[in-house]
């Protein structure tokens, strides 16, 4: 299955020199999206929590949670989650940003968080967001067992000190 047939490359978006990978057609096709999520899930061990990175990582992490089991946790931009949160500031290829996540907590007698986690995002570009998410998730008390993305842009240089193993379904060289 060539998922690239369902991805449109948009040149010079969001800034000049960037080739944006638009996954809208892949998401809109029920059969293709289902196969895509299924294949992604088989690349990793099922965790206690699938942690989706804001915003398109939410799509895949929540679908993986429903298909394979395990909870879904959102790693959001700062200010988008109610307190308490743990935050982490970092630089992206375009700007600076800050992510937030809920630490392990107990709600109505149920412990949420603190187990094993797979961090999920749509695209691995330079790795800054994924590296920051790993740092944040570890600080919040989760044990990261894997990193999973739909698309890995292998042709881009990674941020300094990037040493994560990342599994991907689609690669662009």
Whole-number CA gyration radius for the chain = 16
Handedness of CA 40, 44, 50, 53 (dihedral sign): negative
| C-alpha to C-alpha distance for 37 and 169, rounded to whole angstroms | 9
| C-alpha to C-alpha distance for 49 and 29, rounded to whole angstroms | 26
Which residues does 142 contact at the CB level (< 8 Å), separation at least 6? 49, 51, 73, 104, 113, 114, 115, 116, 117
Task: Tell me which residue of 90, 99, 110, 102 sits closest to 141, measured CA to CA.
Answer: 102
Check if 39 is active-site: no
Please tell me which residue in 9, 39, 76, 93 is annotated as part of the active site.
93
| C-alpha to C-alpha distance for 109 and 101, rounded to whole angstroms | 20
Please tell me which residue in 9, 56, 76, 104 is annotated as part of the active site.
56
Instruction: Give me the active site residues, please.
Output: 56, 93
């Amino acid at each position: 299955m060539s998922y690239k047939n369902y991805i449109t490359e948009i040149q010079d978006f969001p800034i000049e020199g960037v080739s944006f990978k638009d996954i809208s057609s892949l998401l809109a096709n029920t059969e293709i999206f289902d196969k895509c999520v299924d294949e992604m899930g088989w690349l990793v061990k099922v965790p206690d929590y699938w942690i989706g990175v804001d915003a398109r990582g939410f799509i895949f992490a929540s679908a993986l949670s429903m298909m394979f089991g395990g909870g879904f946790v959102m790693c959001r931009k700062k200010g988008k989650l109610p307190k308490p949160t743990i935050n982490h500031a970092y630089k992206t290829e375009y700007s600076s940003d800050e992510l937030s996540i809920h630490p392990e907590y107990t709600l109505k007698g149920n412990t949420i968080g603190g187990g094993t986690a797979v961090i999920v995002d749509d695209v691995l570009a330079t790795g800054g967001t994924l590296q920051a998410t790993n740092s944040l998730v570890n600080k919040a008390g989760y044990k990261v067992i894997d990193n999973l993305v739909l698309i890995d842009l292998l042709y881009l240089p990674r941020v300094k000190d990037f040493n994560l193993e990342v599994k991907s379904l689609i690669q662009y060289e």
